[in-house]
Amino acid sequence: MRNLLTQIDTMTIEQLTDGIEPPSEEWREKARAHLDTLTKPIGSLGRLEDLAAQIVSIRRERSREPVSKAVYVFAADHGVAEEGVSAYPREVTHQMVLNFLAEGAAINVLARLHGVSLHVVDVGVHADFVSTPALLHRKVRRGSRNIVKEAAMSEGEAVQALTIGAQLGAEAAAAGHTFLAIGEMGIANTTAASAITCALTSAAASLATGRGTGVEPAAHARKIRVVEAAVAKHCGASKSPAPFEILRCLGGLEIAAMMGMALAAARHRLVIVADGFISTAAAALAIAMEPNVLGYVVAGHRSEEPGHKLLLDHLKLTSVLTLGMRLGEGTGAVLAMPILESAISLYTRMATFASAGVSGAER
């Protein structure tokens, strides 16, 4: 059974970025003022106060509504896997999607534990799925192309994958979700993310390329050479390549879909919780395409991948968690969600000095 997506009303780049406004600084200031009236020393909740103010600036008048959390895991294969850049064969992408559907993966455990709605999306796995109603079938093609030899996607394929993510982002907003974690699964996608990082930050491949799934030193050295070659081939003649071209040439179908979801989530004023390296690469491309997206993004955690720190520094984002993780799947983003929920719950539920009859600090 073939389940490639053959028809979709694709969006233009202008449509994908249209209507994205920055979070409201007026609402952020209101949030800061309210936080200072709560029964605590000013600033004593630390980073939680920053997160609460950011959430209020995004959600505005809807910031007191109940929180609804969702995670989308986009799965796709990468042609660059044939260069021997991963410790695992390409078939693992397909096998892990089946594991997600059987509720046996780390993301299943964490999403269930923390009350997060999990959605698994096939946007480009190099295999067909039969009798899998729980899977969102959105396959554009069976994996991206080898970025060392040619562009990962055609223009039409990249736009199609972007549109899929954007449509799912709009559906998440319509379903009432407020926190949206963006995760992925795809063998060799850290290679694509490293190449994207080099293109966005001008970092050397040796600094942006980690061990991914745990490759041995010789394979790591080969991976660095692959990233160098791909960036040189597609970006060598341009000092500042356009975000869409970086995506099309160096990215992957799941990265494109995550990028589209980030754009749509910002348009609908949802809190975007980026996961690790690959998820943040997608968010960084969305921000490069539309800078107003940045204010909607929370870095769920900082991965052990060296390229992730480069991207976080490039975006001036500080992660909520640093746990030495490098799994993907949206796991770090989902782990951060209870902290975000705690931040907004403290904001909305704590008593003020006036309402509690508690004396404030002497001036």
Catalytic residues: 329
Q: Where are the alpha helices (DSSP H) in the chain?
A: 13-17, 25-35, 47-59, 91-101, 106-113, 155-174, 189-201, 205-208, 217-235, 243-250, 253-267, 277-289, 306-315, 331-349, 353-356
Beta carbons within 10 angstroms of residue 233's beta carbon: 17
DSSP state of 42: T
Q: Residue 305: CA atoms inside 13 Å, Cβ hemisphere, count?
A: 34
User: Are 354 and 37 contacting, i.e. CB atoms less than 8 angstroms apart?
Assistant: yes
Q: How far apart are CA 333 and CA 273, in angstroms?
A: 6
* Residue pair 137/120 in contact by the 8 Å Cβ criterion: no
